[in-house]
Chains A and B, each alone.
Chain A
Amino acid sequence: MNNSTQLAIQTEGLTKHFGAIHALQDVSLQVPNGTIFGFLGPNGAGKSTLIRVLTGLIHASAGHFAILGRRSKHNFHLRRGIGALVDRADFYKQLSGYHNLEMLARLSGHNKPSHLNDILHQVGLYSRRHDKVKTYSQGMKQRLGLGQALLGDPKLLILDEPTTGLDPIGMVEIRDFIRKIAEEREATIFLSSHLLHEVEELCTHIGLIFSGELVAQGSIEALFQHMGEITLDLDVTPTAVAEKFLQNHDLVKSCEQTATTLRISILYENVPELLRQLARQDVNIFSASQKNRLEAFFLAQAEGK
Chain B
Amino acid sequence: MMIFTLIRNELFKIFSYWRTYMSYFFILLLVPLFFWGFSVGGSNIERQLTNAMGNHFLMVGKLVNAFTVAYFVLNFLWIHIPFLIALVGGDVLAGEEAAGTYRVYLTRPVSRWKIFLSKSIATLLYTLSVILFLGIMSIGVGAIWMGLGDLVVLQDGILVLPAGTAAIRFALAYGLSFLNMSLVATLAIFFSAMVKNAVGPVIGTMAIVIIFFAISSLPLDFFETIRPFFFTTYFDSWTKAFYDPIPWDYLWLSTWTALLHIALFLGGAFLIFKRKDILS
A interface residues, Cβ below 8 angstroms from B? 18, 52, 55-59, 74, 76-77, 79-80, 84-95, 99, 103-104, 106-108, 145, 148
Given contacts A86-B103, A87-B103, contact A76 B277 (CB under 8 A): no
**Chain A CB within 10 Å, residue with most, of B103, B110, B111:** B103
Q: Which of B108, B110, B277 contacts A58 (CB 8 A)?
A: B277
Given contacts A76-B110, A95-B12, 5 further A-B contacts (CB under 8 A): A58-B278, A59-B275, A87-B100, A92-B99, A107-B5
CB-CB under 8 A from B278, the residues of chain A are 52, 57-58
The 8 closest A-B pairs by CB, nearest first: A90-B100, A58-B277, A107-B108, A57-B278, A79-B109, A55-B107, A80-B109, A84-B107
> In the bound complex, do residue B107 and residue A79 qualify as a contact, i.e. CB atoms below 8 Å apart?
yes
CB-CB under 8 A from B5, the residues of chain A are 106-107
CA distance A253 to B5 in the complex (A): 66
CB-CB under 8 A from A84, the residues of chain B are 107
CB-CB under 8 A from B279, the residues of chain A are 52, 58
Q: How far is the CB of B208 from chain A (nearest CB, A)?
A: 29
Q: Quick check: is B222 within 8 A (CB to CB) of the other chain? A: no
Chain A to chain B contacts (Cβ below 8 Å), 20 pairs: A18-B277, A52-B278, A57-B103, A57-B107, A57-B278, A58-B278, A59-B277, A79-B107, A85-B104, A86-B103, A87-B100, A87-B103, A89-B104, A90-B100, A90-B104, A94-B16, A94-B17, A99-B12, A104-B104, A106-B8
The binding surface of chain A is classed by DSSP as loop
> In the bound complex, do residue A76 and residue B112 qualify as a contact, i.e. CB atoms below 8 Å apart?
yes
CB-CB under 8 A from B12, the residues of chain A are 95, 99, 103
B interface residues, Cβ below 8 angstroms from A? 2, 5-6, 8-9, 12-13, 16-17, 99-112, 275, 277-279
CB-CB under 8 A from B17, the residues of chain A are 94
CB-CB under 8 A from A58, the residues of chain B are 277-279
CB-CB under 8 A from A89, the residues of chain B are 104
Which residue of chain A is the closest to B12 with respect to CB atoms? A103
Which residue of chain A is the closest to B8 with respect to CB atoms? A106
> In the bound complex, do residue B111 and residue A74 qualify as a contact, i.e. CB atoms below 8 Å apart?
yes
> In the bound complex, do residue B106 and residue A148 qualify as a contact, i.e. CB atoms below 8 Å apart?
no
CA distance A93 to B108 in the complex (A): 19
CB-CB under 8 A from A79, the residues of chain B are 107-109
CA distance A88 to B104 in the complex (A): 10
> In the bound complex, do residue A76 and residue B111 qualify as a contact, i.e. CB atoms below 8 Å apart?
yes
Given contacts A57-B103, A87-B103, A106-B8, contact A92 B13 (CB under 8 A): yes
CB-CB under 8 A from B108, the residues of chain A are 79, 104, 107-108
Which residue of chain A is the closest to B277 with respect to CB atoms? A58
CB-CB under 8 A from A18, the residues of chain B are 277
Q: How far is the CB of A292 from chain B (nearest CB, A)?
A: 32
CB-CB under 8 A from A93, the residues of chain B are 99
Which residue of chain A is the closest to B6 with respect to CB atoms? A107
CA distance A93 to B107 in the complex (A): 18
Q: How far is the CB of B143 from chain A (nearest CB, A)?
A: 36
> In the bound complex, do residue B109 and residue A77 qualify as a contact, i.e. CB atoms below 8 Å apart?
yes
CA distance A58 to B277 in the complex (A): 4
